[in-house]
Structure 1
Amino acid sequence: MSSIQPIPMKFRVPEVAFPKGWYCVADVHEVSADKLKPVSYLNQQLIVYRTQSGAAQVADAYCPHLGAHLASHDGCIADGAIVCPFHKWKWDGAQGHCTDIPYAGIPQSRSLKLTLYPTREVDGMVLMWYHPQGAAPDFEPYASTALQRDKWVLFDTRVWTSTSPYRDIFENLFDTAHIVQLHGASKMPVMRSMDSKPHGLFVDYQIDPDAEQFSIKNLEVHFTGVTALNQLFEGRGWATNFVISATPIDNESFLQTIRLYVKDLGSREINEQIGKPWLERFTFEVEQDFKVLNYKKHLTQPKLCGGDGPIYQYREYAQQYYV
């Protein structure tokens, strides 16, 4: 365990700012049509639920009337309407407008509205759109074609609360030197290209099968902005797909979640043989990273040298998401 005490973020980043993008606020299986799920992300209190049509939706947790938390006491969703626990005002879960004030006898009002956020369901995640100035989405999240095409099994999920500077969590993947120096890999990974895509970024890796614990023949990495990541590993007769999200809780910490999907090979035992070592290795390396990242400072002008990897190229890409 480190002897370093937690270091406030104001001493470690030039500014505390959440980038625009699609943030995971729940996993798909956690959200239902008969219950409001309260969550706390991006310095906000939110509720996640399903509308009457079955679509996942994220909304502000506070009633616009007098500020009651909609998931407190007996606040609920019934027949697609969110019922406030305080005065029993009803809000349409899909459109947000007020549908009933039981003691006022007024018709539905399109002007009285609950704040809703654009919401998507992608690769087992419920994603909400965040923009610091409230602008509408200007890109869509990446959806794995592999997960849509083949039969996969969600092998397991791991969750960490991190105090790393948010800018550094995915930048860390472009620091190729630490792959050898911290994680003990035999060779540095080589990125052949970094290509802009509508959803964000595609990274093409040069694969050296002899340099890996697992014999990999293909690696595809797709970023959704700077908030989520999809890593597809393919070998001879097997494949794994990591779906990774990073969502700020507040100015001091964020939640990182990895979901490991294994291409279904027909039996639980065989899937276990593939999934278990991948999960163990990934978990070990993430926890190694956090032992450093949770205390590091984000340097705006780091003193880089040859072999450090395309850190500045990633920063140039990432900057477009900071408004």
Structure 2
Amino acid sequence: MAETAYAYMEPGLYARGWHIVLFSQELSAGDVKALSYFDRELVIFRGESGSVAVLDAYCPHLGAHLASDGGRPHGDTIACPFHGWRFDSQGTCVDIPYAKKIPEKAVHALKSWPVIEKNGFIAIWYDPMGNPPEDYLPDIAPWGPDGWGDWRFQRSRIRAQPCDVIENIVDVAHFAHVHGGEVKSFENRFGERTVTQLSTVQRSATAGMVMPEGAPFDMNALHEEAVENAADAWGDATYHGPSIMYYYTESRSADLNFASWWVNYHTPVNAEEVDLCSAVIVSSLTDEPLPDEFREMYPLTAHLAFGQDVVIWRDKTYRESPILCDGDGPINKLRRWYDQFYRPLSG
């Protein structure tokens, strides 16, 4: 097999870092769910105290899936539905109901995954080398019941590569063909674990636009209306690590003045599939509340904007050595930045 230029092209490798698996609203106390990520079967549960745990899914005893039959939560532990072996959030076997002594090999036989719950989402830390989690996910202060409310999200599972998805952060040229926009300003900034896109994009009557299937309204009509009623809008999108993007945007027009936070993520399922998700909260920039109709419609339009990219991602192939031109944005620089999450940490 020929060597690849980037480690992320090697089969069987996944990016080291935090990856979102659920939103907090999807997991109540006592809930147990099966997950499939990184070509592994996992189980996630929320204990009686509210804490969240993620473990490898198969019991080390005789291999039962811990989420079978809805799972068996007990306080802050989970019991195997086959024989009742009980495990805590660290994967430690704490009880076997019919045994006088827990076998020594069983004590730490089940892998647990580092978990973080913040900003209304639940993420797990993936690192095949076992390095400790890094603290690079910022707070989103407006999120929550005392702020702008909870996320409105849409998730899909498609055949795509994570490297296809993350390149959007530097792809200045696609706005005029996918999103119906004319780029007024565009800048990328690279940090150690972050890459940011600062952009001003205006709706254009001459720009092309991808049409996702199943749109609940006429996207062409909406686009025409946005062109006629041009808004002063800008956005700041930042990838924090390899798979979680925060996007903050403000828009001001004669009719509406609002701000919005988005969380977009792509979490690898296996070597061929990723889970894609776009989540949105929105609020007025003035003392006047946003119209109810707009508050309902805006998340749908945001999901469709993300869906325009999804249409492309699910059908494309990855070019390891693309033919690039001077207007393409720093794609190769992004690839070198992204590659760090697939290579061993130095030092």
> Given the two structures, how large is their TM-score scaled by the length of structure 1?
0.83
Extract structure 1 runs of 4+ deviating beyond 4 A.
107-111, 208-214, 264-269
Unaligned 5+ residue runs, structure 1? 1-12
User: Who is 1:87 aligned against?
Assistant: 83
Shift of 1:182: 3.1
User: Who is 1:15 aligned against?
Assistant: 10
User: Who is 1:4 aligned against?
Assistant: none
Residues 38, 206 of structure 1: alpha-carbon distance in 2 compared, 3 angstrom cutoff:
closer
Distance 1:291 1:246 in 2: 15
User: Who is 2:137 aligned against?
Assistant: 141
Deviations 1:107-142 (A, max 9, x none): 696961221100011222110111133332234323
Matched ranges for 1:169-318 at <5 A: 169-187=165-183, 189-191=185-187, 193-196=188-191, 200-207=193-200, 213=226, 215-236=231-252, 237-263=257-283, 270-274=291-295, 276-277=297-298, 279-280=300-301, 282-318=302-338
Matched ranges for 1:97-176 at <5 A: 97-106=92-101, 112-113=107-108, 114-147=110-143, 151-154=147-150, 156-176=152-172
Residues 110, 206 of structure 1: alpha-carbon distance in 2 compared, 3 angstrom cutoff:
same
Distance 1:158 1:215 in 2: 26
Q: Which moved more, 1:264-273 or 1:108-117?
A: 264-273
SS in 2 for 1:152: coil
Deviations 1:151-204 (A, max 9, x none): 21336221222222220102023111111133331236511x41315xx31525
SS in 2 for 1:147: coil
Shift of 1:277: 4.1
Matched ranges for 1:6-45 at <5 A: 14-16=9-11, 17-45=13-41
Distance 1:172 1:209 in 2: 18
Residues 217, 183 of structure 1: alpha-carbon distance in 2 compared, 3 angstrom cutoff:
closer
User: Who is 1:65 aligned against?
Assistant: 61
Distance 2:201 2:71 in 1: 55
Distance 1:135 1:35 in 2: 29
Q: Which moved more, 1:97-106 or 1:133-142?
A: 133-142
| Residues 183 and 199, structure 2, Cα contact 8 Å, conserved in 1 | no
One-letter amino acid of the counterpart of residue 279, structure 2: R
One-letter amino acid of the counterpart of residue 118, structure 1: P
Deviations 1:257-298 (A, max 9, x none): 111111267898625425524632x33333332333222222
> Given the two structures, how large is their TM-score scaled by the length of structure 2?
0.78
| Residues 154 and 262, structure 1, Cα contact 8 Å, conserved in 2 | no
When the two structures are aligned, how many residues end up with a matched partner? 306
| Residues 33 and 80, structure 1, Cα contact 8 Å, conserved in 2 | no
Unaligned 5+ residue runs, structure 2? 1-7, 205-222
Distance 2:144 2:290 in 1: 23
SS in 2 for 1:133: coil
Is residue 2:72 matched to residue 1:51? Answer: no
Residues 131, 185 of structure 1: alpha-carbon distance in 2 compared, 3 angstrom cutoff:
same
Residues 75, 153 of structure 1: alpha-carbon distance in 2 compared, 3 angstrom cutoff:
closer
Distance 1:44 1:185 in 2: 40
One-letter amino acid of the counterpart of residue 104, structure 1: A
Between the two proteins, what is the percent identity of the paired residues? 29
Residues 293, 209 of structure 1: alpha-carbon distance in 2 compared, 3 angstrom cutoff:
closer
Residues 130, 217 of structure 1: alpha-carbon distance in 2 compared, 3 angstrom cutoff:
same
SS in 1 for 2:21: strand
Distance 2:162 2:180 in 1: 24
Residues 216, 314 of structure 1: alpha-carbon distance in 2 compared, 3 angstrom cutoff:
farther
| Residues 141 and 224, structure 1, Cα contact 8 Å, conserved in 2 | yes
Residues 145, 107 of structure 1: alpha-carbon distance in 2 compared, 3 angstrom cutoff:
same
Distance 2:287 2:50 in 1: 30
Deviations 1:69-100 (A, max 9, x none): 111136411122211111211112x3321111
Distance 2:303 2:144 in 1: 25
| Residues 175 and 311, structure 1, Cα contact 8 Å, conserved in 2 | yes
| Residues 156 and 260, structure 1, Cα contact 8 Å, conserved in 2 | yes
